[in-house]
Structure 1
Amino acid sequence: MEILSFSSLPSTQKYLIEKLEEGTLQSPVAVIASEQSSGVGSRDNSWSGGEGNFFASVAVELEMLPKDLSLSSASIYFSFIMKQTLEALGEDIWLKWPNDFYLNDDKIGGTITQKVKNVLVCGIGINLKNTQNGYRALQCDITPKILLENYLLSLEKFPKWKQIFSEYEVEFEQSKKFSVHIENYQKSLSDASLCGDGSLIIGGKRVYSLR
């Protein structure tokens, strides 16, 4: 997969989506920036920061994704593969439903996915070295470029959703200590039940990870 590297971008996600819509870039492609000034996080929050941290977006065609993957579970899928990539590099992190990377009880990053025609664009921001955005950092020696290269090697194998879910299902128990924003309300995950498609049952209602 082609990787485009920049010293600085307002947002890797906005840049990649804009170029895909213009037709000046074609998937599969990845964009990485050393610095990001106006990054996009969940619920339109910003995710910005300086050198040493990870800011990247990846575009893949929907037909490349495993047939058993529901689009509503794409955030979990892309995030969990990054979690596995970091684990293989010796980092002890876990994934809070549906798209936040945690070190113990502290958020260190997150994922956002957007569909552009027949392409899925996944943006990932992780505090690797510097504490920013009010969140902790891993304090690791991994370079963002090497992390992206390793991530793409894992992603391009396109493991089945069933394979990813079987591992994530065990880890989901850690999410139950936390809350999540759903339709502008904060809901506790303490009694949430995880369904096979990555959605949750909370208070008798099904909630999807549409991020």
Structure 2
Amino acid sequence: MIKTREKVINILIDNSDKYISGEYMSDILGLSRASVWKHIKALKTEGFDIKSKAGHGYRLHRKEKRGLSSYEIKHQLKTSYMGQEVYYFESIDSTNIYANTIANQAPEGAVVVSKKQTQGKGRSGKIWVSDYDQGIYFSTILKPSIPISRASFLTQVAGAALATSLEKLGVACQIKWPNDLVLNGRKIAGILTEMRAEIESISYIIVGIGINIGPKTFDGAISNVATSLANEGYQIQDLDLLRTFFIDFEDLYEDFKKRDYTRILGILKDKSAVLGKEIYLIRDGQKDKVFAENIDEYGNLIVRNELGFLEEIFTGEISIRGLDSYI
């Protein structure tokens, strides 16, 4: 039933500028007109604004403020497997939390998407609330056959893909190692990677991403470190971003699985907000000034400390800040 319903909504999406007759749809789908009507009725119940007109048929009425749907998202994703199974929620506690509940049964590339989170997850276990229409939040389930030690690098693979996608949409952002994207020196997106493993084998990895898209007011100290695409003058549609990102992510993820890191590292270095700069490393309550020199093939940040020695910085419980600003 779900597959047939997807076909029905896909026909309406592809022809949203006109009415499509029930007879045409029944011929294309091999259904009776009564069956087509039942699917239309079910789609209306799910929130689709479908107009019916005697003698003309059905038309999907698009509104800018209408929510997304799993059908529309999947229809837009021209990928081999990323996003070919989509779970969409208008509001959810956390896309990462839900992804964890379905990950064992879900296929690789399954995606959980929401427009609002009430228990968004950040690094160090931080919980935050995101209001509806201020961002887009999504988690991807991955099942790579890789050493456990390589799993954390997927955060940066996703960051490279997101920076590439935003550039295609006209937004020249940078990557703040290891898991943030910044625009004009302020954070617009964050990435959180979680893993479930058994001794030496990975069961699944979840890559969660949150992007500030719509107009948003940032209060207090956070106003100096965060912004949104809309606040910076960019009007990006959710579907455009998802479609572009998952094409780029699937592409770079395939490189990652083949252990070909050339393109990934090239993007990470080219888009880096920290390389070639003096920055502060904040760890265990201590603040050290270092010079960011490189990112190695494991995704580690290579810095030179004030004594002139090189040091590998691993992802984990460490923060990076600019000398006089967020970055």
TM-score category (smaller protein): 0.7 to 0.9
Equivalent position to 1:3, from 57, 67, 86: 86
Query: In the alignment, which residue of structure 2 is the partner of 1:198?
Result: 299
Contact persistence 1:73–1:210 (CA under 8 A): no
Task: Specify the code of the residue in structure 2 equivalent to 1:166.
Answer: G
Aligned residues: 206
Matches within 5 A, 1:115-194: 115-117=195-197, 118-131=203-216, 134=222, 135-139=226-230, 140-157=234-251, 158-159=254-255, 160-172=260-272, 174=274, 176=277, 178-183=279-284, 185-194=286-295
> Identity of counterpart residues, as a percentage?
21
Query: In the alignment, which residue of structure 1 is the partner of 2:101?
Result: 18
Q: 1:185 to 1:76 in 2, by over 3 A?
A: farther
Query: In the alignment, which residue of structure 1 is the partner of 2:14?
Result: none
TM-score, normalising length: structure 1: 0.84
Q: More displaced, 135-144 or 91-100?
A: 135-144
Shift of 1:24: 4.7
Shift of 1:177: 5.2
Shift of 1:181: 4.4
Give 5+ residue unaligned stretches, structure 2: 1-83, 198-202, 318-327
Which protein has greater RCO, CA pairs closer than 8 Å, 6+ apart? 1
Task: Specify the code of the residue in structure 2 equivalent to 1:162.
Answer: T
Rounded to whole Å, the distance in 1 between the matches of 2:114 and 2:300 is: 32
Secondary structure (helix, strand or coil) at the match of 2:155 reads helix
Secondary structure (helix, strand or coil) at the match of 1:154 reads helix
Equivalent position to 2:186, from 85, 101, 106: 106
Q: 1:5 to 1:169 in 2, by over 3 A?
A: same
Shift of 1:3: 1.6
Shift of 1:209: 2.0
Secondary structure (helix, strand or coil) at the match of 2:120 reads coil
Rounded to whole Å, the distance in 2 between the matches of 1:197 and 1:95 is: 16
What do you get for the CA RMSD once the two structures are aligned?
Answer: 2.6
Rounded to whole Å, the distance in 1 between the matches of 2:272 and 2:290 is: 10
TM-score, normalising length: structure 2: 0.56
Rounded to whole Å, the distance in 1 between the matches of 2:250 and 2:292 is: 35
Rounded to whole Å, the distance in 2 between the matches of 1:148 and 1:190 is: 35
Task: Specify the code of the residue in structure 2 equivalent to 1:122.
Answer: V
Shift of 1:95: 0.5
Larger CA Rg, structure 1 vs 2: 2
